[in-house]
């Protein structure tokens, strides 16, 4: 499609990539007279090549990673469900929550590939990738995760020096973002979107004097598919990330428990 617009002066026209102007000998003639008399000598035509973009529309990064802390929201109404069916996780009711050792519960992500697509306005971009999310939930109480038919999660009478639930997901995030360029050429960036993942490995690792070191594999009552919101804050080269689950972490057991993990930390990525 050709668009015609007057630029600079009325003596110059632009038709697509062609710049048409009057020659000095025809500067006082109108365009109608030039066209009517077919005065080709009175016209100068210049072909303009498309200007190359001064930014990369596609950017790709290999092997980035995140380091963060993880916790969860527990929306279980324990006081309204005093007669919990199996699995149950202990008494008294006020201590039924699966409390984490927050200083040691971590989220580590490895992004195999990330790509950023910038729109015509380069400040706006679409970012997506593929990688592995790993969560280490360190529990304060002696909570067991097992593959028993009647119960998946229950409180043990044993004392553990270390009690960890490990989960990992093959995940793909997609984000829309915007970069604010400051006067000193530094960037402030904000982006947000969704991340979906598939659970492919989980186990309960426990260490105790009587037990020794044991690792129990299984997916227990964990949801196979993870769906979470994701955001990223960029302050020049420093990047922060956060995720918040949009689904209950538990979905396969006969109980009213609900756990929604969230994480926050540092992102080490070129994009």
Does the structure show a pLDDT above 60 at 143? yes
SS3 content of the chain, % helix, strand, coil (to 5): 5, 55, 40
CB hemisphere CA count around 61 (13 angstroms): 17
Sign of CA dihedral 262, 264, 269, 271: positive
At residue 136's C-alpha, the angle toward residues 133 and 139, to 5°, is 155
Share of the chain above pLDDT 90, in %: 39
**With a threshold of 0.85, does the pTM exceed it?**
no
At residue 249's C-alpha, the angle toward residues 240 and 142, to 5°, is 100
Q: Looking at residue 202, what is its pLDDT?
A: 93
The tens digit of pLDDT for each residue in 214-265 reads 999 988 878 899 999 999 999 988 999 999 999 988 876 555 667 889 999 9
The answer to whether the CB of 164 falls within 8 A of the CB of 208 is no
Is the model more confident about 127 or about 86?
A: 127
Does the structure show a pLDDT above 50 at 109? yes
Does the structure show a pLDDT above 80 at 86? no
User: Measured between alpha carbons, how far apart are the two ends of the chain, in Å?
Assistant: 36
Does the structure show a pLDDT above 60 at 90? no
Strand 143-145 to 259-268 pairing: unpaired
Is the model more confident about 176 or about 71?
A: 176
Does the structure show a pLDDT above 70 at 151? no
d(CA 248, CA 194): 16
Q: How many CB atoms lie within 10 A of CB 80?
A: 7
Q: Report the run of H or E that residue 73 belongs to, with start and end.
A: strand 58-74
**Which range in 55-59, 96-100, 239-243, 256-260 is most confidently predicted, on average pLDDT?**
239-243
């Amino acid at each position: 499609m050709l668009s015609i617009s007057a630029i600079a002066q009325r003596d110059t026209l632009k038709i697509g990539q062609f710049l048409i102007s009057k020659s000095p000998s025809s500067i006082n003639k109108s365009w109608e007279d030039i066209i009517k008399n077919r005065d080709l000598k009175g016209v100068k035509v210049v072909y303009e090549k498309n200007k190359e973009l001064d930014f990369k529309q596609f950017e790709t990064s290999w092997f980035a990673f995140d380091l963060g802390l993880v916790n969860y929201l527990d929306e279980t109404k324990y006081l309204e469900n005093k007669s919990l069916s199996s699995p149950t996780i202990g008494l008294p009711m006020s201590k039924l929550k699966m409390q984490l050792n927050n200083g040691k519960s971590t989220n580590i992500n490895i992004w195999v590939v990330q790509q950023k697509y910038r729109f015509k306005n380069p400040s706006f971009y679409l970012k997506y990738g593929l990688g592995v999310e790993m969560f280490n939930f360190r529990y304060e109480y002696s909570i067991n995760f097992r593959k028993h038919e009647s119960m998946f999660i229950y409180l043990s009478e044993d004392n553990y020096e270390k009690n960890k639930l490990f989960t990992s997901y093959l995940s793909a995030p997609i984000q829309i973002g915007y970069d604010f360029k400051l006067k000193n050429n530094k960037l402030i960036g904000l982006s947000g979107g969704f991340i979906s993942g598939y659970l492919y490995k989980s186990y309960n690792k426990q260490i105790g004097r009587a037990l020794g070191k044991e690792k129990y594999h299984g997916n227990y009552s964990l949801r196979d598919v993870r769906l979470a919101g994701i955001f990223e804050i960029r302050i020049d080269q420093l990047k922060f990330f956060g995720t918040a689950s949009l689904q209950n972490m538990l979905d396969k057991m006969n109980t009213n428990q609900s756990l929604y993990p969230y994480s926050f930390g540092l992102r080490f990525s070129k994009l």
